[in-house]
Each structure stands twice: as C-alpha cells, then as structure tokens.
Structure 1
Amino acid sequence: MSSPANKWPTFLIVATGVFMSTLDSSMVNIALPFIMQEFHSSLSDTQWVVMIYLLTITASLLFWGHLSDRLGRSRIYTAGLLIFGLGSLACAYAPALSFLIFARFCQALGGAMMMAAGPAIIKETFPREQLGRGLGLIGMAVSLGLMSGPSLGGFLLGLASWRVLFFITVPLGLIFAFLAIRILPGPAKHYTGPLDWLGSLAWAAALVLFCLTLTHASSANWSATRLLLTGTAGAAALCCFVAVESRLPHPLLSLQLFRNRHFSLAITSAVLSFMVLFAVILLIPFHLDRVLGLPPSKIGMVMLAIPSSILLVSPLAGWLSDSVGARFISTLGLSVSTLGVLLLTTIEATTTPLVIAGHLLLLGLGQALFLSPNSASVLSHVEADTAGAAAALLATARNLGMLLGIAQAALLFSLFFRGETNGLDLRDFRPEHTASFLTALHATLLGAALSGLLGITASWLRGNATPRTPPAVRPPGQRF
C-alpha cells in the first residue's frame, strides 16, 4: 500500500483516467452525423467509430485485469493513460474514416487498461475502513463521464469541428501519465500463475466476428454465404471460449457464476437494458440533426435529459431497492425505460424537441431505477470469494449491452431505410426522405422495445432469492 499522503493524489489520477475513458464512450455518439458528413460514409461504416471503442473495451477488460495482477496495476494504468492520450491525438488528426476507427481502437485499449487497473489501485491505496468511500467516488467519476458526454459534446460541436472532442483529452492523458509515474504505488505483483491467452483470444474473436456479422448484414457488399461463415466462426469461437474457461483452474471468466439463476438473469437483464439505452443514444441525434435541423448545442441539451434523470433518481432507486427489493424496482425500471422507447416510436417531423426530451427523461428515469438495484442484486447473490469476478462481469455486461445495442440499431435502421428509399443510405438523406427516415426510426425503436420486454421478463424471473452474506467486493483488476 502506498503512503497515506498519496491517497488523494492517487485517487485524482485514477478518477481522471476513468472519467476520460467513460466520457469518450458517450461524447462521440453525438458527433456521428458530422463525422458521416465529412467522410461521406454510410451509417454501417460510421457506427464503427463508436463500436470499435466499446468492442475493444468489452473484449479486453478481463484480460487487462488479469495482466495487471502479474505486471503490476500501476504499470498497466500508466501505460493506459499514455496510450489513451496518444490515441486521442491520432483521432483528432484522422485523415480518413478507416484511420479514425484504428485510432479509436488504440484509444480504447488505453481506456480498458485504466478501467481494469484503476479500481484495484484504489483498493491498494485506501485503508480498509475508507475503501467503500474511495470506490464510491470512482463510481461517481464513471457516472459523471457518461452523463456529461452528450452536453459537453454538443457544446464543443457548437464551437468547432468534431475533432475538438478528441483534442481535449490529449493534454489530460499525457499530463496525468507523467503524474502517475511519479505518484502511483510501485508495481506490486499479486499473481504469477499462467495467463489465459487462449480464452482471451477466443472471447475477442467471438465478439469481433459477431459484430462484423451484424454490421454487414444490411450491406450489399457481403453475400449471404460470407455472413453465414462469419456468424458460424463467431459461434465456434464462443464455444471454444466456454470450453477453455470450463477447464482452467483460474479462468478469465468463472463460468461457475452462471449456475446461480438469480445472477444469470440479472446479468442478462443488464445487457438488454444497455441495448435499449444505446439504441436510442445512437439514433435520436440523427433525428434531431437531419429531421429537426437542430444545432449541435441544442442536440446536446436534448440528449442531456437521459443522464440528468439518472443522476437525480439513482439515490432514490438505491433506497427503494433496500426497502422494497431489487427484483421489483429493477423490473419497474426496465418497464419505465421500455415505455419511454415506445413513446419515441410516436415522434414525427413536427414533434418538438421538448416532447422528445420528455420521452428521453422517462427512459433515463427507468434506467436509474434499474441500474443501481440490479448491480446490488448481482453482488449480493454471489459468494465473497467470487465477488471480484462478479463485479468484472457486470462491467463487461454493461459494455456488451452498449455494443450490441448500437449494432442492432444500425442494422435495423439501415435495412428499413434502404427498403423505403430503394437502396439509399442515411448519408444520402434529403428532406424528401423524412417519411422514410421516420418509418425506419420507428421500426428500429420497436426492436429496442422488444429487447426491453425481454429484459423485463429476465428481471422478473430472477425471483426473490435470499442474498448471501454481503461480499467484500474486489475490483475487476484483482485476482479472482
């Protein structure tokens, strides 16, 4: 453990890095219409600016947690800051969409390294009696990054090009990397066992192949045979991952957790919840830009309705969960979110931004009621020695839901829009295509609502199992 005098400087370094990595997962969404316009790219191609970031984090988060146990968490975290800062610089100067996507991949590697090692560094630095406070403040940094993204992104886009969104994190990443080298505790190693390389590669391959299948399903450049082969290869990689993890004494992911019915259904509902949320976050900015013609600053203000309601209601949701039970509150939250999405399927070209913000507010309210009780439910229904694995899997489920939500929404929207316009892409949008846009938007949001209904079912079927002894939660980077 580092010196007590370094406790708060260490917290500041970790909180800043975690804030930047989550900020970039929410801020860039609002810039997609402008990135598409500059590079004249299709929606299926442009979505990879967001998807590659989430895909890389989802695929590598567990791996970096394991590697940090072997090489030292401070080393992994500091390297993550440097990679993130340099990746941001590359994004800002991207001359083409393909380069921007590659730069986002590099940026996400750094973000995943920080997410995996950061909470574990807090655990090493803070005394046991203050650990809950330290991790809670890190959780606030995560929430602040996710919540401030839409409004900050809209404000900056109103002042300059989308490239400024990446410039702002460059000096922060490099400055705090220097501070991390000077301040963070030494590179203590906590585990020297074998690294699960095969499991890591199989998990990453499965995610990449499935995402390629989803994103190119609406593309005329991919044949049915190619899609079938890619999807089959993804399924084979997933089966390989399960086979490897079930045989290792210290796996990347403990499959034993899924024998707990309550845990499995709570994780499933978490994935579906974020699928609903990010389908809306992907598409509504396009409606506000293309159909309503709002400037970026106003788009950011409308989208701010979601994080604002989450911020305001989350404390109440935790209290209600303790009083009434996580099953009821979580299911109620997903029901409210799904209602918000269904209301969004009724918006037209004449619907005011205020009405849309009201529907988004309802969606955010539902998410607030769901997220905190569901997370507490997951961690309270596992044994103490698997709490770290459960926390890591919960973070992975969150990112997986974001990833699948964007992929599903882009696929459905592209299919319906092209069907309505005889093969045109969203980049070819003209005012006369407004009716076709709305038809595609409504159909896609109905698909998101279906995900919400599945989440409601999973949440309710978890039952009211008695929680186990409250676990001493270990961060994702700690060995489990």
Structure 2
Amino acid sequence: MINVALPSIMRSFGTSLPQTEWVVLIYLLTITVFLLFWGRIADSLGLSSVYIVGMAVFSVGSVACYFSVTLVQLIAFRFIQAMGASMMMATGPAIIKMVFPIDQLGKALGLIGVSTSVGLMTGPLISGFLIHSYSWREIFLVTLPVSLFACGAGLIFLKPFASQKVFNKARHPFDWAGMTLWAALISLAVFLSTNHIGVSAEFLVVEAFLCLVLFLLFARTEARKENPLFPISLFHNHSFGIAIFCAALSFAVLFVVLILTPFYLDYVLSLSAKDIGFVMMALPISVFFVSPLSGFLYNHIGARFLTTSGLTIAACGLILLCFLTTESSSFDVAWRLAVLGCGQALFLTPNSATVLENVGPGQTGVSSGMLATARNLGMLIGVSLAGLLFGVIFSRVSGGFDLKQYNPCLAENFMYALKMTFAITASISIFGAVLSSLRRNVPLTERS
C-alpha cells in the first residue's frame, strides 16, 4: 500500500526521492534489525505471546502515522509500526510449523502465500482508491479494524501455544553484542546506499571500509557465542544457506520493481492513484493463483526445480519490463508484472519450506526469524538499490536533475534510467537462479 502512496507523499511534503524512500526504508530497516531479536525472545517467552503483542504495537503505530504532520514524524511512527510487524513476522512461520505436520508444510505455506497475496492484491487497489478519494493518510487506518480483530482472535486461538518455550533465559543469555553489531552494520550499509549524492569518494570508501570491519566483527562474535543471535552453524547445512541467501535476492529483485513502477505509472503515463492501484494488482493476483500450485508441487518434487524456475521466470519478467516505453498502456505494464509475480510465487513457498524443514525444534523460532530477516534484508536492499541505481543514472543522463524536478521533457531520461535499473536487477535474479540450482533436493521421506 505504501509503495503506491510514495509519489503522493513526496508531493505532500515537497521532499526528494531519497528522503521519501525513508518512509519505506525505516520500516524495513527496523524489521531487518529486530527480527532475529524477536525470534530468539519468542523461543524464550512463547511464540503466540510475542505475536499478539506485536499485533497490538502495529495497530498503535498505524494510528500514529495517520496523525503525522511532517515527514520526520511519519518516519518515526513507521518505526513503531515496524517494531510490531517484526514481532509478528519473526513468529508467524514458526507457529505454522508447530501446527501443521511436516508432510503438510508445503501446502500450509502455500495457503499462507494465498492469504498474503490477497492482502497484496487488495492493498494497491484500496490504497489507490483512498488516495484518489481522500489522501495518503487514510491508508494507515484501513488496516486498523483487521489488526484489532486479529489481535482478539489470537488471544483465543493461540492461547494453547502461549506456554510453549524452547530456551531457558538463565541458561541462554541474550546475545547483546551480536545484536548491537548487527544493527550497526545494517544501519551503516543503508546510510551508505542512500547518501551518495554530493558525498566525496573518500568518504564513501571510509564508510565501505567500516561496513567491512563491522561485518568481520559480527561474524567473529557470532562464531564464538554459545547461543548467538545469528547461529552461523545453521549455514553448515548447504540447502539452508542457499535458501536464506536466495530469499534475500528474490525480495531485493521484487522491491526494485515495486518502488520504481508506481513512479513510472504516475510521472510518465500520468495515471491516477486509483489506476496505479489497479495496475499494481497484477503482481499479487498472479501470486494468488500460483502459490497453492507451488506448495502442491513442492510436496511431490521438492524445492530445487521450483525455486530455480521461479527466479528464472522472475528474470524474464524484468527483461520484459525493460521494453516499456512512454507510450505503453496499462495492460502492457500489468501482464509483465504478472510474469514477475508468477516467478516469485513459484520460488517463495518451496524456498521457505527448505529453511523450516532443515532445523530442529529448538531452533524453530530463530530459523523463522532468520528467514524473515533474509526477506526483509532483501526488501531493504531492493529499496536502497532502486534509489541508488535509478537516482545516479537519472541524474547523470538528465544533466543533474532530481526526480522531484521531473517534467515531461525528462521522460526519455526517466525511461533510460528505469530500463537500466531493471536490466541490472534481472542479472541479480539470474544469479539467484544459478545459485538455487545448486541446492540438494530432499525427498519427502527424508524431511523432518
């Protein structure tokens, strides 16, 4: 919903694309930093308890976003909203694994994919309608009734799981050092990718060096911990490591498209917010139909062929998007987004199942948190990459203009930057497909 609203938010506050992107970036950054934290806390306090509190925090953040009067306030309240979301996302897959038997895990995750795609499908449409009829603020209230209902339902139906804990807090102290290094590493990397304009090359080199140092410190710290925030030992499982890495690549590819396409539809094709919502629905609609099929096929043929094919199809969708022009129709955009959505849906369910089936009961919460972290890290990379690549290319070919200075005379410059960004993103998806083909295909009889 927020992606559709970004052009309206940018106009409302008179800000640049890198500044406005922080409405999305702060949300994804917060989730990426805290998912592993809440995954570990959930293993100690109980999955359902963390999930329900997260739903309540998300609701409070949504209301606060509605009342924000400056971009800084909106970004601050999005942090609160994201904190609640991270609590839910860290525990959701683990609750699913706890409820469903292993031979039904693919089907269960496929159904979750359907419900997710319903939200994604209605989100752009509702967002476009609300922006067209009212303003972008209303999109933060539309989820409130659903959130409150889900919170009440959780108190009733998830109560049996409230007491199920995996870790003893006295025996397994929390990894605060790892948490601090992880937060510093991700935050610095995002800052580096979003503050490149007008910064000297020497300063960028220093920032990149600091990122490398923080990464090495983080890896060394986690390797020595008995109960680390980021259990590197799980990556000794070949399939687990590939699945986590490919999940991040997949969502990075997806979010480059989700961030830039609404600007193309608004600025170049001059569509209304309502029409933009209709066009963007094409992607989740394809996910809605393909996700159940993907879960069904995974239960019969495993993950390798499906995940490799999915990322290959997603790359084809990106290449097709490179052929859009200033004269393209809404349908031209929609069917290309649908191809991308089919690839994403074919990949997502079997890849998620690969992560969850390769860990023991004592690591369910943290592995669920790692999976969600990989996805949100991918989203974070995608948003940052979209702004970085498009911003640099557009500025260079337009003679130094920023997107907030866009006018119809810059349409060809816009299209060149868009196509180059999509082409680079397609190469990332192809790399992910090659990597995914290297995973071991686990027969159903060996899954546990």
Q: Same fold (TM over 0.5)?
A: yes
Separation of aligned partners in 1, 2:47 and 2:75: 27
Q: Is the 8 A contact 1:262 1:465 kept in 2?
A: no
Rounded Cα–Cα distance in structure 2 between residues aligned with 1:85 and 1:61: 18
User: 2:325 is paired with a residue of what secondary structure?
Assistant: coil
- 2:446 counterpart SS class: coil
How far the C-alpha of 1:128 sits from its partner, in A, is 7.7
* Bigger shift: residues 236-245 or 250-259: 236-245
CA contact (8 A) 2:110 2:296 kept: no
Q: CA deviation at 1:395?
A: 1.8
| Paired residues of 1:85 and 1:172 also in contact (CA < 8 A) | no
2:192 maps to what in 1?
Answer: 213
**Matched residue, 1:443:** 420
Whole-Å separation in 2 of the counterparts to 1:413 and 1:103: 27
* Residue of structure 2 aligned with 1:202, choices 172, 181, 195: 181
Task: Tell me: CA distance 1:456–1:116, structure 2 relative to 1, closer, same or farther (3 Å).
Answer: closer
Q: 1:236 to 1:467 in 2, by over 3 A?
A: farther
Alignment partner, residue 248 of structure 1: 225
Partner of 2:23: 49
Cα distance per residue 1:119-149 (max 9 Å; x no partner): 566778x698999698776665444333432
Separation in 2, partners of 1:243, 1:112 = 26
Going from structure 1 to structure 2, the CA distance change for 1:399 and 1:468 (only over 3 Å counts) comes to farther
1:161 aligns with 2:135: yes
* 1:408-423 equivalences in 2 (<5 Å): 408-423=385-400
1:63 matched to 2:63: no
Work out the CA distance in 1 between the residues paired with 2:361 and 2:306: 24
RMSD: 2.8
TM-score by length of 1: 0.84
Higher relative contact order (CA 8 A, sep 6+): 2
**Partner Cα separation in structure 1 for residue 36 and residue 213 of structure 2:** 20
| Structure 2 CA distance for aligned equivalents of residues 451 and 443 of structure 1 | 13
Hey, what's the Cα distance between the residues in 1 that align with 2:157 and 2:298?
Answer: 39
- Tell me how far apart the structure 1 counterparts of residues 96 and 302 of structure 2 sit (CA, whole Å): 30
Give the match for residue 397 of structure 1.
374
Which one of 251, 268, 281 corresponds to residue 258 of structure 2? 281
The residue number in structure 1 matching 2:76 is 102
Change (3 A) 1:95 1:225: farther
Equivalents in 1 of 2:18, 2:142: separation in Å? 27
**Residue matched to 1:366:** 343
1:49-198 equivalences in 2 (<5 Å): 49-73=23-47, 75-118=49-92, 140-173=114-147, 185=159, 188=163, 190=165, 191-192=168-169, 193-198=172-177
- Once residues 352 and 109 of structure 2 are traced to their aligned partners in structure 1, the CA distance between those partners, rounded to angstroms, is 14
Any gaps of 5 or more consecutive residues in structure 1? 1-26, 472-480
1:296 is displaced (CA, Å) by: 1.2
Q: Could you tell me which amino acid in structure 1 is paired with residue 124 of structure 2?
A: P
Give the alignment of 1:298-337 within 5 angstroms.
298-337=275-314
Residues 465 and 173 of structure 1, relative CA distance in 2, 3 Å threshold: closer
- The one-letter code matched in structure 2 to 1:391 is S
Aligned equivalents of 2:367, 2:182: Cα separation in 1: 17
Query: Within 2, Cα distance between the matches of 1:306 and 1:142?
Result: 12
TM-score (norm 2): 0.89
In 1, the alpha carbon distance for the partners of 2:49 and 2:307 equals: 38
- Of residues 44-53 and 166-175 in structure 1, the stretch that sits farther from structure 2 once superposed is 166-175
Judging changes above 3 Å, is the alpha-carbon distance between structure 1 residues 120 and 270 closer, same or farther for their aligned structure 2 residues? closer
Distance 1:297 1:101 in 2: 24
Which range moved further: 440-449 or 178-187? 178-187
Equivalent residue pairs, number: 442
Q: Which residue of 2 aligns with 1:8?
A: none
Q: 2:332 maps to which residue?
A: 355
Q: Distance in 1 between matches of 2:397 and 2:390?
A: 11
AA of the residue aligned to 1:420:
V
Supply the distance in 1 between the matched residues of 2:301 and 2:144 (Cα, whole angstroms). Answer: 45
Q: Can you list the C-alpha shifts for 1:95-139, whole angstroms capped at 9, x where unaligned? A: 111211111111101111222345566778x69899969877666
222, 238, 245: which one pairs with 1:268? 245
Distance 2:154 2:411 in 1: 50
Tell me, in whole angstroms, the C-alpha distance in 2 between the residues paired with 1:320 and 1:37.
45
Question: Quick check: 2:313–2:340 contact (8 Å CA) kept in 1?
Answer: yes
2:114/2:289 contact within 8 Å kept: no
Native 8 Å contact 1:381 1:467 kept in 2: no
Tell me how far apart the structure 2 counterparts of residues 68 and 370 of structure 1 sit (CA, whole Å): 27
Per-residue CA deviation, residues 212-264 of structure 1 (Å, 9 max, x unaligned), is 111112x21x3333333333323222222222221122221221121222322
| Equivalent position amino acid for 1:196 in 2 | D
**Secondary structure of the structure 2 residue equivalent to 1:375:** helix
User: Structure 2: 5+ residue runs without aligned partners?
Assistant: none
Alignment partners' CA distance in 1, 2:177 and 2:253: 32
Give the Cα–Cα distance (whole angstroms) in 1 for the partners of residues 109 and 320 of structure 2. Answer: 36
